[in-house]
Chain A
Amino acid sequence: MTTGLTLVVLVAAAFFAAHFASDRLAKRFLIVSGAEYLALGILLGPLVTDILTPGLVESLAPFPLLALGWMGVITGTRFNLQELVKIPAVTYQAAVLESAFTFTTVTALLLFALSWAFDTSISVAAPAAITMGAIAVSSSRQTYSVVSAHLGTTNPLVRQLDISAGINAVLAAAIFAWVLSAYHAAPAASARPLTTTEWMVLTVALGGVGGMLFHLFLGAEAHIDRLFVALAGAIILVSGAAAYLQLSPLFAGVAFGFVLTNTSRRRSEIIAALLRIERPLFFVLLVFAGAMWRPSLRAWLLPVLLFLTARAAGKIGGARLTARTLGLMPVLGPHWGWALLGQGGIAVAIGVDYLQQQALPFATIVFTATIASVLLTDLTSARLAHSVANTLAGVEEEKK
């Protein structure tokens, strides 16, 4: 048996062992699935076996790009206006305020920490700090499932978590799209460099116009297999166009999904087709993230630890402050921010996208912070959400 084949078999065995171990742990200790795919990526990558060589990762780069666009579209389809108008405005206000607080806290701290630790100017550290702020804003929707299982889907906390996860995802994607627009290199073929606003408009237009055209393209198509093929084509096209222009496939995807969900009569079929490969693509993204990871112990420890602390403080403090400011303390409780700590797929997507932008600084630090945060919150977020739900359920019981 060749060395390569032995390695493949070893990695496969390790993966399945890790998968089953994490599966049991997930059931026993409420751990959100995903970390084993990151571990698989690290095992396959240049750090351990080098099966996924940098060249191979480069040649398979269209897959994570597609995953970014796909995740964006799924996020966008959650914003159906007809349903959103039924939810009280204060729910959105709480979500936006909490996001703004988290973003400001993390960005400000990282801005100073990076410029101080690496002896560089604020302007050089800005893209990395802002991106880490965006990553900090994003939160996992998995915790929503945990809490809704306890309190039911009509509970105000459950609704708040659902909306917060959605708003967090869109804001995180939008902030990162802004970073890519603001720090965009001028295209060689254009007569003058495009402004940040123009690049941002182009990002939204790619998704928006793509969504409208695709709505017309689909017509009355309702067969899920054919819908899936056409959707795949459209999302690949939009993601490819955004990535080709060095813009954000994630945010273009959000715009695409938003337009599609608000114009198409086949909304449920489209969502079913999208969800068909949501998990596989997320896992692919995690594997790639693992394979692309290049830690550098000396450089990353301080900023990463600061990121993790600042994010936790931002989420928990921001949520508490928001609830107090908007008079939602009796409904959401003081600890609802704990249920937002789960990091989720959008964070991985932004981390991977940042790493692929060769012109942006501190790529390894941003990416390592993302990976560390995902791994850490995968282990704890569901339990934290569970305890928030338990506390709130206890309070409601006492009131009765």
Chain B
Amino acid sequence: MRRALILGLLLVGMQLVLPLGLAGHHSQSLLTFGFLILAAYTVGEIAVSVGQPRIVGYLFAGLIFGPSLLNVVGSDSVRMLAPINSLAIALIAFLAGAELRWEEVKPYASSIGKILAAEIPLTFAAVAGLMLVMRPFVPFMADAPLSHAIAFSLLFAAMGAVHSPAVTMGILSETGARGPVARTVLGVVLVSDVVIILVFSAALSITQALVPPTEAGEMAGSAGMLAWELGGAVLVGVLLGGAISIYIRFVKRELFLFAILVAFFGAEVARLAHVETLLTLLVAGVVSENASPKEAGLALRGAMERAAAPLFVVFFALAGASLLLSEILSVWYLVVPIIVVRTLALWQGTKLGARWADSTPAIRRDVWMGLISQAGVAIGLATVVGEIYPTRGAQLKSLFLATVAVNTFLGPILFKRALTRAGETVSGGMSGAPAPAAH
């Protein structure tokens, strides 16, 4: 309550200061950025006090103070903070990869593979089927021929199968959970990222064959380009990860600065080499973690977690600020069934895969709750569709982003619940993460 009151005072102070300064100057985004962090911190604490994850609070803070509601952080500020967002995504991807130390993941490899093999096809089929059933009510499919409707349904379903590495890492960092459920969810989420990019590319090729893009739209890249985007990302990631492991093995200094440089540098290299950024950093994280001595890897992971702590706040608060409430409300009658069907498909698919792998009861019961979240990758895929099909693709993107918005809030709540139920959360931490080694 005290913090909320001070936040109110800061808001009043900001309104007094704003007329005296240079509107549109980059420092204005810094001002609103600082306010957003404090607001997210406050709402995050409120969320914890009612038993919810902090990141849900961060998302709510973004939503409340973002363009949808109070507009303290306007769309211009959100745009100007994009470089920080990109840095956060790169750091999160590297951190996620660094969590996959083979000796720790090995016991869950079978569960991860079989859960993936069951949940992706089931979710894909269920969402695609639902879209076809709801065709008369879906704006971009209502008047379209059946072949077009099938194509867009496949595209929507491919995007619907995406999970969120960022939310997963956010919750793992917050709770400090590293048990079987946590590791299985992380494994499934990270591997599915690669699989789904392939599925999406296949769905996009089918769609482009059935519905050739108009002149205003752009053709997606060739198969060769896609192969380079993925294969090149693995190659660049391996090289980057190798270089990082050499650094942490022989130099092992200034790790905090090094962590930020890795994220910035890795994202830049990926951009220049035209390869998938997220996958590059993810692979770099996996390689550096597995090629380094355990202690050195832990030290880098600790530095990364410290660098990522404020970036998580920023990332989720900005994600909340990017949500447009009016767009979600305008299509609620489509969003609700999509979310229900996707959730049911994930639940059953995960259960099926876990039973097939003969996993522990906790994995069978709780892992699906960690797979609900959707964020960065999903939004990226929707943007691609929007660019290729400026009219119908944009409508598809709006509907998809509305479902992502709801899943972004629902996912962390369920995942934290799953980890608590499985007894894997650790008290203390950023709210739990084990204290990283000091450097």
Interface positions of A (Cβ within 8 A of B)? 1-2, 4-5, 8, 12, 51, 58-62, 65-66, 187, 189-190, 194, 202, 206, 209, 213, 216-217, 219, 223, 225-226, 228-230, 232-241, 243-246, 276-277, 279-280, 283
Interface hub of A51, A194, A246 (most chain B Cβ within 10 A): A246
Verify B29–A276 contact, CB threshold 8 A.
no
User: CB < 8 Å: which of B17, B20, B41, B80 contacts A230?
Assistant: B41
Verify B28–A189 contact, CB threshold 8 A.
no
Contacting A at CB under 8 A, from B2-45, are 2-3, 6-7, 9-10, 13-14, 17-22, 25-38, 40-41
Q: 20 extra interchain contacts, Cβ-Cβ under 8 A, other than A232-B37, A243-B25?
A: A1-B273, A51-B268, A59-B80, A61-B27, A62-B33, A65-B27, A213-B6, A225-B306, A225-B429, A228-B306, A229-B37, A229-B41, A233-B40, A237-B38, A240-B33, A240-B34, A243-B30, A244-B21, A244-B22, A246-B22
A223 to B34, CA, bound (A): 20
Judge whether B256 is part of the interface by a CB distance below 8 angstroms. Answer: yes
A selection of 20 A-B contacts at a CB cut-off of 8 Å is: A2-B273, A8-B265, A8-B269, A58-B26, A189-B20, A190-B19, A202-B20, A213-B10, A217-B6, A226-B430, A228-B306, A233-B36, A233-B310, A239-B30, A240-B31, A244-B17, A244-B21, A244-B28, A246-B21, A276-B256
Distance from B271 Cβ to chain A, minimum over Cβ atoms (Å) = 9
Are A225 and B430 CB-contacts (below 8 A) given A62-B29, A233-B41, A280-B257? yes
Contacts of A61 in B (CB 8 A): 26-27
Main SS class of interface, A: helix
Contacts of B32 in A (CB 8 A): 240
Are A234 and B34 CB-contacts (below 8 A) given A5-B273, A213-B6, A246-B22? yes
Interface hub of A209, A238, A241 (most chain B Cβ within 10 A): A241
Distance from A54 Cβ to chain B, minimum over Cβ atoms (Å) = 13
Main SS class of interface, B: helix
Contacts of B216 in A (CB 8 A): none
Verify B313–A229 contact, CB threshold 8 A.
yes
Say which size band chain B's interface belongs to.
Answer: 35 or more
User: CB < 8 Å: which of A2, A190, A223, A244 contacts B25?
Assistant: A244
A213 to B9, CA, bound (A): 9
B9 (CB) vs chain A CBs: closest residue = A213
A148 to B29, CA, bound (A): 42
Verify B37–A228 contact, CB threshold 8 A.
no
Distance from A279 Cβ to chain B, minimum over Cβ atoms (Å) = 7
Judge whether B47 is part of the interface by a CB distance below 8 angstroms. Answer: no
A237 to B17, CA, bound (A): 12
A226 (CB) vs chain B CBs: closest residue = B430
Verify B19–A189 contact, CB threshold 8 A.
yes
A311 to B257, CA, bound (A): 32
Interface hub of B13, B27, B37 (most chain A Cβ within 10 A): B27
User: CB < 8 Å: which of B13, B14, B26, B254 contacts A62?
Assistant: B26
Judge whether B341 is part of the interface by a CB distance below 8 angstroms. Answer: no
